[in-house]
Amino acid sequence: MAETLCQDCLRAQPPIPYPGAADGYTICPDCGGETCPCAGCLESLALLRVGELRGGVLGLQPHVWLVGWTEECGGVFWPEPEVAA
């Protein structure tokens, strides 16, 4: 079965198409976020499966702080720190 990576919860998902989705994107049944089957996302999934959590290596946005990951639960995120005004 093909896999996709949810852009929100970082869970592996089977592709579930929905109307109006961009090419290849599907919807995550766990969180409702968009999933992506591109080579970069599948590489990130492979890295997560071997324990990689560094956002720069995984291609995550700079404000995303990943502190854990499991196949069942997806990403465990640390809240973004408050920025002093």
Q: Would you say 49 and 72 are in contact if contact means Cβ atoms under 8 Å apart?
A: no
What pLDDT shows up at residue 14?
Answer: 85
What pLDDT shows up at residue 37?
Answer: 87
User: Residue 80: is its pLDDT beyond 60?
Assistant: no
Domain assignment present for residue 33? The answer is yes
pLDDT tens readout for residues 20-59: 666 667 888 888 888 888 999 999 999 999 999 998 999 8
- Give the residue numbers spanning the domain of 40: 4-78
Domain assignment present for residue 84? The answer is no
Nearest Cα neighbor of 26 from 11, 45, 43, 48 is 11
Domain assignment present for residue 50? The answer is yes
Domain assignment present for residue 48? The answer is yes
Query: Does residue 48 sit in helix, strand or coil?
Result: helix
What tokens appear for 59 in the block?
């291609």
Question: Is pLDDT larger for residue 3 or for residue 83?
Answer: 3
Domain assignment present for residue 34? The answer is yes
Domain assignment present for residue 45? The answer is yes
| Number of separate domains in the chain | 1
Domain assignment present for residue 63? The answer is yes
